[in-house]
Amino acid sequence: MISAARPLAILSALAEEQAGLVDQLQGAQRVTHAGREFWQGALDGLPVVLALSRIGKVAAATTSAALIERFGVGAIVFTGVAGGVGRNVQVGDVVVGTGYVQHDMDASPLFPRYQIPLTGQTAIGADAALARALVFACVVGLQGVQHAGRAPMVHQGLVASGDRFVNGQEETARIVDTLRLHGHEPLAVEMEGAAVAQVCHDYGLPFAAVRAISDRADDTAHADFPVFVRDVASVYARRIIAEFVRTCQDSQPRL
Ligand code: ADE
Residue 177 appears among annotated catalytic residues: no
- DSSP for the chain, written as a single string: ---SSSPEEEEESSHHHHHHHHTT-EEEEEEEETTEEEEEEEETTEEEEEEE--SSHHHHHHHHHHHHHTT--SEEEEEEEEEE-STT--TT-EEEEEEEEETT---TTTS-TT-BTTTTBSSEEPPHHHHHHHHHHHHHHTTT--BTTBPPPEEEEEEEE-SS----HHHHHHHHHHHHHTT--EEEEESSHHHHHHHHHHHT--EEEEEEEEE-SSTTHHHHHHHHIIIIIHHHHHHHHHHHHHHHHHTS---
Residue 172, number of CB atoms within 10 A of its CB: 21
In a domain, 90, yes or no: yes
Predicted confidence (pLDDT) per residue in 44-79, tens digit: 999 999 999 999 999 999 999 999 999 999 999 999
pLDDT at residue 69, as a whole number: 98
Q: How many Å lie between the centroid of ligand 1 and the Cα of residue 28?
A: 30
Decide: 17 and 237 in contact? Cβ < 8 Å: yes
Instruction: Check residue 252 and give its pLDDT.
Output: 60
The answer to whether residue 177 is domain-embedded is yes
- Does some domain include residue 30? no
pLDDT in tens, 169-189: 999 999 999 999 999 999 999
Residue 21 lies in a domain: no
How many angstroms separate the alpha carbon of residue 96 from the centre of ligand 1? 15
215 is a catalytic site residue: yes
Phi and psi, residue 93, nearest 5° = -75, 175
84: left (phi over 0), alpha (psi -120 to 50) or beta: beta
The answer, yes or no, to whether residue 253 has pLDDT greater than 50, is no
Distance of CA 162 from the midpoint of ligand 1 (Å): 9
Enclosing domain of residue 233: 80-249
Whether omega for the bond prior to residue 109 falls within 30 degrees of 0, making it cis, is yes
In a domain, 211, yes or no: yes
pTM given for the model: 0.95
- Please indicate whether residue 214, judged by its CB atom, sits closer than 6 Å to ligand 1: yes
- Indicate whether 200 belongs to any domain: yes
Residue 9 inside a domain? The answer is no
Q: Does 122 contact ligand 1 (Cβ within 6 A)?
A: no
CATH number of 188's domain: 3.40.50.1580
User: To test the ligand 1 pocket, which listed residue (191, 218, 220, 222) has its Cβ within 8 A of the most ligand atoms?
Assistant: 191
- Number of structural domains in the chain: 1
User: Domain for residue 237, yes or no?
Assistant: yes
Ligand 1 pocket, 217 CB below 6 A?
A: yes
User: What pLDDT score does 78 carry?
Assistant: 97
Per-residue model confidence (pLDDT) at position 255:
36
